[in-house]
Structure 1
Amino acid sequence: MKVYDNAFNGNEWFTLIIFVGAYAFLFVLPRRFSLQDTFLYVLTGMFIGNFYDHTISIGPWNFYDVNDNSSFEFIDFISYFMYGPFAYYFVYFWDKWNASPKHIPLYILCWSLFSMLLEYIGHLLGVYHYLRGYRIFYSFSVYPTMQGLIFLLYYFLMHEKKKNMKSGSIG
């Protein structure tokens, strides 16, 4: 086990502020989607983010450790929930701005850069400890992939809603 820190400091504060702030903002925003869709977007963001994190942060790759040490801590559990609201915001603002699908690459680029900024701040505060030559810019390939999957879910749900409205089904 590798220990980076033993104090309650920047990495814990970053995780808690992102967690509380992201969920608070989620409840403050005017509702755009049903409760079920909102819950699905948040769960999808949590799942995709944690899937990628656990794919590259554990053996055999083990490209980074999270927070104070290489073993699991309670703050790691809280960090599992940080990704969820951002998936919701991703589709929320896309839907709100009624953007054209031709703008998807630019939208994904902007969100990927924003994601990189948050990861960089997290790295500076000791949330992420890169190992085995991993560099933050490697994460740039992960963010567009994650966001593309969230777009697929969004467009699938929108297609199903339109289909249900045409057939007179409730959905």
Structure 2
Amino acid sequence: MNFNFKEIFTAFMVLFAVIDIVGNIPIIIDLRKKAGHIQSEKASVIAAFIMIFFLFLGQSLLKLIGIDVYSFAVAGSFILFFIALEMILGITLYKDDGSSQNLTATVFPLAFPLIAGPGSLTTLLSLRAEFELENIIVAVFFNVIVIYIVLKTSSKIERLIGPSGIQIIRKIFGVVLLAIAVKLFAHNIKGLFL
């Protein structure tokens, strides 16, 4: 076991920025109004299961289709880059097709793809190329705890922080995520030419 506090903290912050659970509070509140009730425990557990499953089997799936981790990490850095731009500039690059209206809000779109979506799954594989597996698992676990707390207290948090506070948090984490995307790209691009 190679537990490293710095790796755990960095992986936690990267996932926290990508998942952007605080920035998604308005979406969560909207889902709660539409669905009437969101099962916070179920959504958190399903999101954790999806992330851990992908962390362990994502690499094997990539090998199966002939993609190396460096290529996936570079592609992941582009996704993180665009997510960061969305957060900083307040634009929407990803468009929802609206097909989730009849499905249960707890699983879809909350657990997937809002929490365990393409951004967080790509990030997990990108982190795996750089950090020890056990440190990433601990970071996922801590993120799931934060996600659960935010889901349980979303309406209180919105009242406490206010819309402008949520926007400020989104922009700060957007800048952090942009820097992480650039670092991830620079670190993994070398591996493509070795």
TM-score (norm 2): 0.31
- Greater Rg, structure 1 or structure 2? 1
